[in-house]
Structure 1
Amino acid sequence: MSEQTDSAPAWVLAHAKAMPDAPAVDSPWTRLSYRQLAERMLSLAGHLRAAGVKRGERVLIALPLGCAAVVAGLAVQALGACAVELDRETSAASLEAILAQTGARHAFLFGQDARRWTARTQLTHLWVVHSARPPERMLGLLAPSACTWVQEDGSVDLEARAEALESPPPTPPEAHASIVYTSGSTGTPRGVIQTFGNIAANTRSIVEYLGLTSLDRAMLILPLHYCYGKSVLQTHLRVGGSVFLDPRFMYPSVVLEAMATEACTGFAGVPLTFELLRRQATPESLAKLNLRYLTQAGGGMAPETARWTREAFHPAELFVMYGQTEATARLSYLPPARAQRKAGSIGIAIPGVELRVVGEEGTPLPVGETGHLVARGANVTPGYLGAPEDTRSILRDGWLWTGDLAWRDADGFFFLVGRAKEILKIGGHRVSPAELEHTLARHPAVLEVAVVGVPDELGGEAAVAVVVLQPDTPLREESLRRFCRESLPAHKVPRHVMFTEALPRGPNGKVLKAELRTHVMSPVASFESRPSR
């Protein structure tokens, strides 16, 4: 496969020719073989072309996890255009900023979200996904934009007429394939550019270390606007495997049942995913599974949850992974065979990627010394859309500065210390919130914990631990601080401990530390030593 055709649309077409009836993308409501997926992709691409979508143009996609979202993304890229996949809950202010940054004229939206898309005068054509032809009142909300109805399986309204695309045009690896939005430090959304070459390189690497083949079938509960979720789809489409898309994880037992019924061999989740399964999965539901592997990314998982996951899903192997959107998805993985000896490590660099720990000037640091984690590889973004200063801050002399602090051991395994911007300055010491969180997580009564810094009246910062306790396990603040003093120096012991029912999280399951810090600093927040329940 040449560089110019190494893209997801090309993979789908190759598999549609070689094994047309093999399953490709399924959901609880729709099933698409590779032949059907290819047909819908080319048909929708033809309609987009007829509506005026040009090569390199950016098209917004704000759809729920399902077959229509997959077909839409493939159709956009089949034209050589750029897919901008968004969370359906993107705020009005963020959406306005994204429209201005991308210059998008076309958008895919879910019919139920019509009211949120009114008065978007920049958009000239809306592609409305609805289970049946949208009622006129819904289409009226979206005027004056032209509207085309797309069914939930990605097929286009039969009344619409357009010639299907015969085959994707050659696309150079440096062309923009996707823009993935993250929140900047100021709250303004930043668009991470991912090229066709970035996606192909990262996909090849993941396929290699997971050993994926056409026999693999993944259960995917993660959204496609999240690079982790998208990488699960891309890797399986590359090898001719299949993906079962299931947005029902609010009911874990339902997803576990589907995972067994659908004979899934792989499952991907963030730390919260496995914590919820730990609380709710039954031995009977786990015994029905036939998984070959599990993957975990999106932040560090509590040691006890990691141990439970390895035991509960045995003999499936757990791959702990690390990455970021600016690296398309993945930078490192921890080989399961080294999980016990290298507990707490993010592992080694994925194939095709080089990782280093460097000082402030970019000079490599020796083994065991903490510094900035930087990465180099074909999967690294060319930068942020329309943000040259932000781009220069992360790309220096060909290296991606991840924003994380880490150290490397003598075997070449990397260990995160924390985010460079989150490191607390306490009494002249630099303290990692992650270290405090890992210490507190070892207490048997602690279910979840997040540590943030607040201004200290004596200067610098004070650490505040916000804790979710195991059910029916009352505990006092001083008990946890005493627990910390047993293994931490005095300056690292949290100044205060607060108890809460749940930590604030974003749509991808990550703890929203900015929101947590705001709450902790609120005048109504209390730091009294008291039972949590």
Structure 2
Amino acid sequence: MSPIGDTAPAWVRAHACATPDAPAVDSPWGRLTYGQLEARMLALAGHLRDAGVGPGASVLIALPLGCAAAVAGLAVQALGACAVELDRETGAESLDSILAQTGARHAVLFGQDARRWTGRSALTHCFVVHGSRPPERLRALLAPAACTWLQEDGAVDPEVASEPLTALPALAPDAPASIVYTSGSTGAPRGVIQTSANIAANTRSIVEYLGLTARDRAMLILPLHYCYGKSVLQTHLLAGGSVFLDPRFMYPQVVLEAMATESCTGFAGVPLTFELLRRQAAPESLAKLPLRYLTQAGGGMSPDTVRWTREVFHPAELFVMYGQTEATARLSYLPPARATDKAGSIGQGIPGVTLAVVADDGTPLPDGEVGQLVARGANVTPGYLGAPEETAAILHDGWLWTGDLAWRDADGFFFLVGRAKEILKVGGHRVSPAEMEHVLARHPAVLEVAVVGVPDDLGAEAACAAVVRKPGTTPHEDDLRRFCREALPAYKVPRHVLFIEALPRGPTGKVLKADLRTRMLSILSSPDPRS
């Protein structure tokens, strides 16, 4: 056991001692300096401790993006406990499963969501950001759990006195510090364990290649229950920089104005983020932002959108990145200086991470040959919570099997082909949906596109493209198939092109391909699938 000196709570304490008045975590509804953030963190940790939370315990956190969410995660980890940050929209069945898996008896939640938590008898104590809602009504909804009230900036209402935490406890580096839930292969929630050592390794690596300093200030629109969003907060807390948490991206112009007013130097987004900006934002307003860098992860972005982003945000540099929750966020990045000659690449392993391409039996493959992408580093998870079989499926001899297919060029840069489970087998050929999607996305009438596999008449597989048209256009299926034939061999041209109003997406903007495939099958089985 050793003092937890390399954790986010320890980083906050160090900066609070050195620069207590420096900005740390802000939002449209609150501002916290490092001194205030430390005070909020230690005060809430004291209340959690008195409610029975100790090292190794799990605490559920389901809060909107804001200061209180940042304080709650830090307070839980300051005790050596495990923060289980959840999407506020988590369904009742998944919530019950997560409570059973984690054994959590404490939760930090938003008063507006109290009805969602009603009847959860496993909970003994709830810490509630109540806002303007009457505490007594919330207390009745959350009974029999005891309640402690929090303000939107993470401060504890002075209803019950507790001594703040004064010292961070000893903690083994391999102790779970966070559990991040993703969808398992069966659809049941699957908890990815992230240890304090995982988080420290990944955070330090990202700070290194982004060159973050105390002068950096990030605009963060991604939720903290998403490991990409959490890594933005953690990296800036390590560097002594600051983060502006803004959940208002449904109004992009409002966020852009805040980015300018707040003098943000960094901005993180998923592909949908930049697609929305491309459609809705004036390029001249983007060029005036005081950004030093942008980061993009959370799935592949179309080449045209990558080029557009680099052009309109110039001179800010775009870091295209690749990662997984099982890698505590990040595995590779493409240096902006190589954006042109290595276009389409996910880059090289981040500092401390080794990437390789191997055959299905683990044998290393030569450059240029497609195989399984595997990774090794201190940021790789020890596994899934309570799921030894699923853990064994992704971890082999210290290597994380990402589930992605890729190839490496002679310079050591990696190129993704697609998810191994999503690769289509069309007429004896292995076909990447991403390749078809990138071609179709270049058509002037295509707003969005996603390709999935559907059964063909012979019991094999056919590619089906789901296309969202640009407003005012009326392309025909044959138009898009002809367009594909100009760039792709015949076997890579989608068998079906169906037009829909919108692609189904998850909370972080990723296309839900399983849902899309079900919808495509339903449309194709209808009497007139093109109607």
Corresponding residue for residue 389 of structure 1:
389
Q: How far 1:443 sits from its partner (Å)?
A: 1.7
Aligned to 2:416: 416
The 8 Å contact of residues 4 and 168 in structure 2, kept in 1 or not, is answered as no
- Provide closer, same or farther for how the CA distance between residues 37 and 27 of structure 1 changes in structure 2, counting only shifts above 3 A: same
Give me the whole-angstrom Cα distance separating, in 2, the residues matched to 1:92 and 1:409.
46
Aligned length: 530
Structure 1 residue 340 displacement after superposition: 1.1
The 8 Å contact of residues 353 and 378 in structure 1, kept in 2 or not, is answered as yes
* Cα pair distance change 1:288/1:234, threshold 3 Å: same
Q: Distance in 2 between matches of 1:527 and 1:44?
A: 60
Higher mean C-alpha deviation, range 423-432 or range 290-299: 423-432
* Distance of 1:69 and 1:272 partners within structure 2: 24
Q: Which amino acid aligns with 1:349?
A: G
> Which residue type is aligned with residue 242 of structure 1?
S
The secondary structure found in structure 2 opposite 1:198 is helix
Question: Does the 8 A contact of 1:58 with 1:82 survive in 2?
Answer: yes
Offset from partner CA, 1:32-57 (integer Å, 9 cap, x none): 00000000000000000001112110
Match of 2:350 in 1: 350
Match in the other structure for 1:290: 290
| Alignment partner, residue 214 of structure 2 | 214
For residue 455 of structure 1, what is the aligned residue in structure 2? 455
* Contact 1:253-1:285 at 8 Å conserved across structures: no
TM-score after normalising by structure 1: 0.97
Mapped to 2, the partners of 1:522 and 1:186 lie a distance apart of 21
The 1-side partners of 2:176 and 2:360 are apart by: 31
Q: What root-mean-square deviation, in Å, do the aligned CA atoms of Structure 1 and Structure 2 show?
A: 1.4
| Counterpart position of 1:317 | 317
Report the equivalent of 1:443: 443
Name the TM-score, length of structure 2 as normaliser: 0.98
What percent identity do the matched residue pairs reach?
Answer: 79
2:150·2:156 contact (CA, 8 Å) conserved in 1?
yes
Amino acid at match of 1:184: G
8 Å CA contact 2:111, 2:129 repeated in 1 = yes
**What is the CA distance between 1:139 and its match in structure 2?**
1.5
> C-alpha deviations, 1:67-123, integer Å up to 9, x for none?
000000000000000000000000111111101100000001100001110000000
Contact between 2:503 and 2:511, CA under 8 Å: does it hold in 1?
A: yes
How far 1:494 moved relative to its partner? 0.6
Cα distance change on mapping 1:523 and 1:290 into 2, 3 Å: closer
Take 1:488 and 1:288, find their aligned partners in 2: how far apart are those partners?
39
Which residue of structure 1 lines up, in the alignment, with residue 56 of structure 2? Answer: 56
- Asked whether the 8 Å contact 1:3–1:173 carries over to 2, the reply is no
Amino acid at match of 2:142: L
Matched residue SS, 1:522: helix
* Structure 1: distance between partners of 2:78 and 2:527: 56
Aligned-partner SS, 2:522: coil
Which one is further off, 496-505 or 166-175? 166-175
Moved more, 378-387 or 444-453: 444-453
Q: Distance in 2 between matches of 1:37 and 1:504?
A: 38
**Structure 2 gaps, min length 5:** none
1:88 maps to: 88
Whether the aligned pair in 1 keeps the contact of 2:43 and 2:164 (CA below 8 Å) is yes
Distance in 2 (alpha carbons) for counterparts of 1:234 and 1:527? 53
1:366 CA drift (Å): 0.2
Q: Show the counterpart of 2:252.
A: 252
**CA–CA distance in 1 between the matches of 2:525 and 2:242?**
48
**Cα drift, residue 132 of structure 1:** 4.3
Matches within 5 A, 1:18-33: 18-33=18-33
Alignment of 1:329-344 (within 5 A): 329-344=329-344
Query: Quick one: distance in 1 between partners of 2:497 and 2:190?
Result: 33
The within-5 A match list for 1:91-106 is 91-106=91-106
- SS of residue paired to 2:170: coil
Gaps in structure 1 of 5+ consecutive residues = none
Residue in 2 aligned with 1:272? 272
Q: Is the Cα–Cα contact under 8 Å of residues 5 and 170 in structure 1 kept in the other structure?
A: no
Q: Distance in 2 between matches of 1:469 and 1:223?
A: 29
- Is contact 2:287-2:314 (8 Å) kept? no
The match for 2:517 is 517
User: Take 2:64 and 2:124, find their aligned partners in 1: how far apart are those partners?
Assistant: 22
Counterparts of 2:405 and 2:283, CA distance in 1: 39
